[in-house]
Amino acid sequence: MKFFIDSADVGEIKTWAATGLIDGVTTNPSLIAKSGRKFTDAIAEICDLVDGPVSAEVTATDVEGMIAEGRALAKIAENVAVKVPLTWAGLRACKTLTEEDTMVNVTLCFSANQALLAAKAGATFISPFIGRLDDVGEDGMALIRDIRAIYDNYMGLETEILAASIRHPMHVTEAAKAGADVATLPPNVFKQLIEHPLTEKGLAAFLADWAKTGQTVPRK
């Protein structure tokens, strides 16, 4: 599974990119607004920090506007993935931009039928929002499983499933088990993936026992 960081904080992204474990970045208008940065400047800087896709969202709601904004965003860097909403206009824009060899992330997916349409439109990524479905009493992970089953039925569909709206580490585990290609994580959730109390307890015990020997390991 590939990991994307869901953030527009350049400093934060730089820190996580340095781990070598990040495959891309997703942003949205809310994250950009929170960062206080000029949109295009932030996207350009983020694209310099990671080699993988950086999702940058259009704000137009009509086909022509989405295509125009998408083309402008794609000029920022080769690794920009234009993010469009899962509407009829968004799907039409997706098809046009895909035909122009631009990566497209179709976002705000809440049903398997929507995901199927996005794949037919040539989306590079489909972003089902797990947490938001859970919030309204639906099973977000069931959507991932349904999309995976449908995509696997048709060899011609190459769209990657990008699990989004992830709230906690168990979402990551379940998304990976369900066959999601990518998980986009808020930095706090990414940090939690490595944490386990038994790891900390075991390390403390090992270090305490080692200290009793009075030895040191040579360092060049």
Tell me the pLDDT tens digit for each residue of 30-42.
Answer: 888 888 888 899 9
Query: What angle separates helix 10-17 from helix 39-49, to the nearest 10 degrees?
Result: 10
| Rg from Cα positions in the chain | 20
Q: What is the DSSP letter of 180?
A: -
According to the model, what pLDDT value does residue 89 have?
A: 98
How many alpha carbons fall within 13 Å on the CB side of residue 199?
5
* pLDDT tens sequence across 84-140: 999 999 999 999 999 999 999 999 999 999 999 999 999 999 999 999 999 999 999
Please give the mean pLDDT across all residues of the chain: 96
According to the model, what pLDDT value does residue 29 have?
A: 83
CB within 8 A of 196, min separation 6: which ones?
none
Q: Identify whether 32 is part of a domain.
A: yes
For the chain, give percent helix, strand, coil, nearest 5: 50, 20, 30
Q: Identify whether 205 is part of a domain.
A: no
CB within 8 A of 100, min separation 6: which ones?
71, 74
Q: Is the pLDDT of residue 171 over 90?
A: yes
Using alpha carbons, select from 61, 57, 46, 41 the residue that is nearest to residue 13: 46
According to the model, what pLDDT value does residue 180 have?
A: 98
According to the model, what pLDDT value does residue 205 have?
A: 97
The mean per-residue pLDDT over the stretch 175-180 comes to 98
Q: Identify whether 163 is part of a domain.
A: yes
According to the model, what pLDDT value does residue 28 have?
A: 85
- CATH number, domain at 33? 3.20.20.70
Q: Identify whether 76 is part of a domain.
A: yes
Active site residues: 83
Query: What angle separates helix 169-178 from helix 140-153, to the nearest 10 degrees?
Result: 20
Terminal C-alpha separation, the chain: 36
User: And the tokens for 14?
Assistant: 């730089």
The helix/strand/coil state of 163 is strand
Q: Identify whether 202 is part of a domain.
A: no
The region, left, alpha or beta by phi > 0 then psi within -120 to 50, assigned to residue 103 is: beta
Q: Is the pLDDT of residue 179 over 90?
A: yes
Q: Identify whether 175 is part of a domain.
A: yes
* pLDDT tens sequence across 146-161: 999 999 999 999 999 9
d(CA 187, CA 185): 6
Share of the chain above pLDDT 70, in %: 100
- The tally of domains found in the chain comes to 1
Using alpha carbons, select from 125, 133, 65, 129 the residue that is nearest to residue 98: 125
* pLDDT tens sequence across 44-95: 999 999 999 999 999 999 999 999 999 999 999 999 999 999 999 999 999 9
According to the model, what pLDDT value does residue 34 have?
A: 82
According to the model, what pLDDT value does residue 60 have?
A: 97
Q: Identify whether 213 is part of a domain.
A: no
d(CA 38, CA 52): 21
The mean per-residue pLDDT over the stretch 11-36 comes to 91
Q: Identify whether 220 is part of a domain.
A: no
Range of the domain at 13: 2-195
According to the model, what pLDDT value does residue 30 have?
A: 85
